[in-house]
Amino acid sequence: MAQVEFWYEFASSYSYPATMRVEALAADRGVGLVWRPFLLGPLFAGQGWRDSPFNLFPVKGRYMWRDLERICGALGLPLRRPESFPQNSLLAARVALALEDALRPAFSRAVYRAEFGQGQPIDAPATLRPLLAEIGVAPDPLLARAVEDANKAALKAQTARAVALGLPGAPCLTTADGEVFWGNDRLEQGLDWARVHDPVAE
């Protein structure tokens, strides 16, 4: 079974529809997914940006919000622009990484729904606790584990790998043969590529 890595950042607007779509698209194609939450901050810093490019370049920002409205409208996804953008996604990313693999997709979707569907602040433990409870995880022990050194280091390492892979933003799919597909609008193409170039199937 071909496998791709799905790279997403909780502060990233286009990661919202991608996260809601990717699992069904992968299942349709018989491609396995490895969920990789990471932080865009170090990538952006490497390009000289200390804020989201959607804030630094307002023409792009205005376009992005309207584009996202159309995308969410077509998918039937609620969209409520968070009061501040981008949100501080550090805690949510640490929590996502601290979870066991099988729970990461459902938690990640719940974070995006809270953030971009309901406009909630995702840096607040009060937002994340009920999302953890919903997937059957006791919130406080997990929140404690999320900020342990080992988990912090794991998120740093995962982000360093995203930089090393040359990801230009989020979301991205990366394939076993080294391809990068950037954007919600490249999910289908990346999954199709992985299926066709699957080293096991060949």
CB of 63 to its own copies, least distance (A): 4
Cβ closest to its own copies, residue 82 vs residue 183: 183
Longest dimension (CA), the chain: 49
Cβ closest to its own copies, residue 134 vs residue 185: 185
Q: Contact with its own copies (CB under 8 A): which of 31, 39, 43, 111? A: 43
Cβ closest to its own copies, residue 4 vs residue 114: 4
CA angle 99, 101, 106 (to 5 degrees): 75
Which one of 7-15, 17-25, 42-50, 142-150 is the stretch in contact with its own copies (CB under 8 A)?
A: 42-50
Which residues, in sequence order, are CB contacts of 129 under 8 Å at separation 6+? 139, 140, 143
Which residues, in sequence order, are CB contacts of 144 under 8 Å at separation 6+? none
Site membership for its own copies, residue 70 (CB under 8 A)? yes
Residue for token pair 């490895």:
34
Residue for token pair 């050194």:
149
> In the stretch 86-125, what mask flags binding to its own copies with x, by CB under 8 A?
----------------------------------------
Site membership for its own copies, residue 68 (CB under 8 A)? no
Q: CB of 133 within 8 A of CB of 125?
A: no
